[in-house]
Amino acid sequence: MAEGVVIDTSFWGARAEGVAALERELARLRRVQSAHARELVRPIARASVLNLIVYADREEHARRAARSIADLALRHPSRAIVVLADRRGREAAEKRIEMHCQLPIPDGARQVCYEQILVRASGDVDDRLASAVIPLLVPDLPVFLWWTGTPPLGSRSFADLLRLTDRLIVDSADFARPELTLPIIARISEDARGRFGLTDLNWTRLTPWRQIATSFFDVPAWRAFLDGITGLRVGFAVDADGRDIHPSQALLFVGWLASRLGWRPLETLAPSEAGGLLFAIARRDGARIMVRVRPRFERGLDEGDISGIRVQATAAREQAEFVVKRQPSPRHQTATVVLNRERRWERTMPLPSPAIVELIGEELSILGSDRTYEEALDALVELA
């Protein structure tokens, strides 16, 4: 163990020497649970529907992920292997196990056990990390790899783990410099085709925005404006001093519209405000569209979250603006349609802000790739 780093065994469980010892300990714990359940005449299920590998390089991220998985145990009972690769400290790859058994139904009618394993690695173990994880996987079950932080292209352990993976989950909200990292994700996505699925939690967060944006054009009278878009503004939240700039979510939204509507990049221009982005884009018919991605300080929003969108369009000499604004408290959004400068329609609807655990829960129910996401990502990389 790295000096000065103490593993909290009450959280992560007792230490096991090697995979065989770890499996023995899990079997023992299962047996104890079974015996206990029999006494109480309650059925117990050793339920596992997937392997989930979580990679984290900080203990607090590992813990947060572990808590999320615990919250998901009923919906996605899994064997969770939390890989905590701390690059400080000396070389070691240690495994600690803990088995959690929840009684989420108050009358205790049902118990579901899931298994949580911590693989803690210290030092430079890039060449051997996967060899400690592979034997821990439950045979035959799909493998999800949740990579917290920026995926390191060119790292052997990342490549080795990807070879086992059916679905890679990343969160571009954590990417420090998305303009550099998103193209990396696009490369991974390209390599992944046919081998494993790829998703981004920031893409999952976009779902309500995509829903409302498409719903405008479900109205037959407004359908024509979709081909006549002249401008797009997407705002994203930053903190008061504007230090942390996370435009990934907003960029994905732009990429999504561009891929759906067949837009092509023309040029990247200098934005008028710090942290913003300005693109000139060609519509399918060749007309020029200006796309602005702007940082906004909004109290109560998470950094990087889209704060609002504004689509300007013309059709048959009519001018329209489709506006969605996020309201922080309580969380809801207002959608407005302005035709020829006259407000014609307005609705207010709840806009949930799902926690990581809900986003992960959603992504774990999907296997295979998401074509719409891949196309949005490709379009975005071409733009940026």
CB of 43 to other proteins, least distance (A): 12
Site residues (CB under 8 A) for other proteins, limited to 195-214:
197
Looking at the DSSP bridge assignments, the partners of residue 198 are 168
CB of 152 to other proteins, least distance (A): 19
Look up residue 83 and give its two tokens: 């890989």
Q: Which of 1, 31, 211, 287 binds other proteins (CB under 8 A)?
A: 31
Q: Which of 108, 242, 262, 368 binds other proteins (CB under 8 A)?
A: 368
Q: Using the structure block, give the residue that is written with the tokens 């504004």.
A: 310
Residues 264-283: x/- map of binding to other proteins (CB under 8 A)?
--------------------
Site residues (CB under 8 A) for other proteins, limited to 130-189:
131-132, 134-135, 137-143, 164
CB of 135 to other proteins, least distance (A): 4
The b/e string for 152-191 (b: 16+ C-beta within 10 A; e otherwise) is eeeeebbebbbeebbbbbbbbbbbeebeebbbbbbebbee
Residue 46 binding other proteins, by CB under 8 A: yes
Nearest one of 72, 22, 81, 94 to 54, comparing CA atoms: 81
Are the CB atoms for 211 and 306 separated by under 8 Å?
Answer: no
Cα 379 from Cα 189, distance rounded (Å): 13
Cα 62 from Cα 149, distance rounded (Å): 11
Are the CB atoms for 174 and 148 separated by under 8 Å?
Answer: yes
CB of 137 to other proteins, least distance (A): 7
Residue 215 binding other proteins, by CB under 8 A: no
Nearer to other proteins, 93 or 226 (CB): 93
Which DSSP string corresponds to 19-67? HHHHHHHHHHHHHHHHHHHHHTT--EEE---EEEEEEESSHHHHHHHHH
Are the CB atoms for 359 and 205 separated by under 8 Å?
Answer: yes
Nearer to other proteins, 34 or 155 (CB): 34
Nearer to other proteins, 27 or 219 (CB): 27
CB of 143 to other proteins, least distance (A): 8
Cα 250 from Cα 305, distance rounded (Å): 8
Residue 335 binding other proteins, by CB under 8 A: no
Are the CB atoms for 197 and 373 separated by under 8 Å?
Answer: no
Q: Which of 14, 35, 105, 349 binds other proteins (CB under 8 A)?
A: 35
Site residues (CB under 8 A) for other proteins, limited to 348-367:
362, 365-367
Nearest one of 322, 320, 342 to 334, comparing CA atoms: 322
Nearer to other proteins, 70 or 141 (CB): 141
- DSSP-based three-state secondary structure for 364: helix
Look up residue 14 and give its two tokens: 């007792």
Residue 124 binding other proteins, by CB under 8 A: no
CB of 7 to other proteins, least distance (A): 16
Residue 49 binding other proteins, by CB under 8 A: yes
**Binding-site residue total for other proteins (CB under 8 A)?**
38
Other beta carbons within 10 angstroms of residue 5's beta carbon come to 13
Residue 125 binding other proteins, by CB under 8 A: yes
Site residues (CB under 8 A) for other proteins, limited to 89-118:
93
CB of 140 to other proteins, least distance (A): 6
Residue 27 binding other proteins, by CB under 8 A: yes
Residue 40 binding other proteins, by CB under 8 A: no
Footprint on this chain of other proteins (rule: CB under 8 A): 18-20, 23, 27, 30-31, 34-35, 46, 48-49, 75, 93, 121, 125, 127-129, 131-132, 134-135, 137-143, 164, 197, 362, 365-369
